[in-house]
Amino acid sequence: MNDTYIDNDTEYSSYGVGLSFYEDKTVGEGSTTVKILLTGFLGIFMVFSLIGNICTCAVIARDKNMRTPTNCYLLNLAITDLMIALFVPIEIYLIWEPDFYPLDEEGCRLHFLLWDLLSNCSVLTILAFTIERYLVISKPFLRQTLVLNSRVFKIVSVNWAVACLFAIPNAFYVYLVERKQNVYCFFTVPDTEKTYLVCMELLVFYVLPMTVIFVLYVLIAMKLRSTKSTSRQNPVHGKQKRNKAVKLLVAVAASFFICWSPYSALRLMIVLPGLSYDHYFNLWRVVIYLSSINIYMSTAVNPILYSLMSHKFRNAFRDLLKRGPSRSQATASHTRRSEC
């Protein structure tokens, strides 16, 4: 947490990831009701996330017509969400056994490394497809270049590389500490570096992306409105399809903003000198609960948004669960037979 942890006569400020923030002994004395509720929520989110994101990956992989540039970004987002959901069992364990981290030192370091990598990659993916959608709408003459899947794969690769670039240095601040019968895994940063690291992550992976996303969606809305007013006589099918795609991406970006805001607030609280853990215990605990629940909720909500807002995704999910060929594949097959 934001209070000090003393080891070998050196003072550090420490904080964890998700429910791994629970490194103080007072957590073990927490309400059983709260623990049961947290366990229930996290378990439900994990199940929905696993089912939804596996189905998302499956429908895009099995149907070539679903492999659009936008869906390639959504596929990458589904992969990161799926991997984040796999942390839930560890978090549930730490709810009930906060004083004994179950993995060794390498597992502790890998826990934090993967967490940073996946969360960073998620926000960069959302930022990338927002920029992509803005360019498609505002620069129609670039459409042929922008719709290439190979270009999307290169951008996704760059996103993973940048996410790694920021995540790997943080792994050197992760420690596994044994105190008598207790074992703690936590991220500790010297006070001289704490403000720089936390503020840099907040700026690069939250403030700046969310600002760019908000501005671009405002510009997209203005562009669509002006297009609607100047071309009423044109066919509307393509425009309606484009509007639905924009609405889907807006919903995904909005859910990410809402779900990750508590965690970003938690990181900001770490560098605020007036918000010590000892004096604002209840505030810290509420923000920790919200950040933990919201982060895992975000991994489950995206597939639900795809199903609610995209008729094509909804049909693909339905066909997958029925274990039959997708409708687009069946239509293509029927067309080929008719031509024969």
Q: How far is CA 236 from CA 217, 228, 241, 258, in A?
A: 21, 9, 9, 32
- For residue 243, what are the β-bridge partners? none
Does the pLDDT at position 315 exceed 80? Answer: yes
Spatial strand order of the sheet with 4-7 comes to 4-7, 10-15, 182-189, 174-179
Distance of alpha carbon 81 from alpha carbon 299, whole angstroms = 5
User: The tokens of 215 are what?
Assistant: 């501005």
Q: Which residue has the higher pLDDT, 2 or 237?
A: 237
The number of folded domains in the chain is 1
* Burial readout 206-243 (b: 16 or more C-beta within 10 A, e: otherwise): beebbeebeebbeebeeeeeebeeeeeeeeeeeeeebb
CATH code: domain of residue 300: 1.20.1070.10
Does the pLDDT at position 221 exceed 70? Answer: yes
Mean pLDDT calculated for residue range 65-85: 89
Residues near 257 by beta carbon (within 8 Å), at least 6 away in sequence: 210, 213
Residue 235 has what pLDDT? 52
Mean pLDDT calculated for residue range 102-115: 89
Q: How far is CA 266 from CA 235, 236, 262, in A?
A: 49, 45, 6
Backbone angles phi, psi at 36, to 5 degrees: -65, -45
Residues near 25 by beta carbon (within 8 Å), at least 6 away in sequence: 99, 182
Distance of alpha carbon 260 from alpha carbon 262, whole angstroms = 6
Residue 155 has what pLDDT? 92
Note the pLDDT tens digit of each residue in 38-67: 999 999 999 999 999 999 999 988 888 888
**CA-based nearest residue to 245, from 146, 122, 119:** 146
Residue 240 has what pLDDT? 64
**CA-based nearest residue to 303, from 105, 18, 59:** 59
Per DSSP, the residues of 136-175 read HHH-GGGHHHHT-HHHHHHHHHHHHHHHHHHHHHHGGGEE
**Which domain covers residue 198, as residue numbers?**
4-339
